[in-house]
Structure 1
Amino acid sequence: MDDVRWRKSSRSNSNGGACVEVATRSDHVMVRDTKDRAGGMLDVPFPAWQAFTAQLRDR
């Protein structure tokens, strides 16, 4: 996974809370905890990620 480009979510704050990083591939999105990068990640198919984020925007 060395070739994966992670970026800190714009929703993460600088006070140490809600630190999330995301990385995208052509067919999926990966999400991990910034403070525990070795602790695993979520790997979500891109259509499911789009549906999830659309629901968040609608709230």
Structure 2
Amino acid sequence: MTEHISQLGWRKSSYSGPDKDSCLEVQDHHPTNVPVRDSKNPGGPTLLIPAAGWSAFVTAVRDGAL
């Protein structure tokens, strides 16, 4: 599957740590996947997480399950 990932519109996850060693960035508004990358390496690989899986992951983090 190929999906266009813009270099604009990345935001730091509110669940990223306060130090510079654990910064996760995501892009919103992709219909099928959530692009995720390491903010320390913005030119590096981007993971495309299925939207339903990302939603379940965020819920688990909020609920303290992870």
- Report what 2:14 is aligned to: 10
CA RMSD of aligned residues (A): 1.7
Match for 1:47 among 52, 56, 62?
52
Match for 1:30 among 35, 39, 58?
35
The percentage of aligned residue pairs carrying the same residue is 38
Higher relative helix content: 1
1:22-58 alpha-carbon deviations (Å, 9 max, x no partner):
0021221111011101210110111111111111112
Normalised by the size of structure 1, how large is the TM-score?
A: 0.77
**Gapped runs of 5+ residues in structure 1?**
none
Equivalences, count = 58
Normalised by the size of structure 2, how large is the TM-score?
A: 0.71
Letter paired with 1:31:
V
**Gapped runs of 5+ residues in structure 2?**
none
Say if 1:26 and 1:4 are closer, same or farther in 2 by CA, change over 3 A: farther
Contact 1:11/1:18 (8 A) holds in 2: no
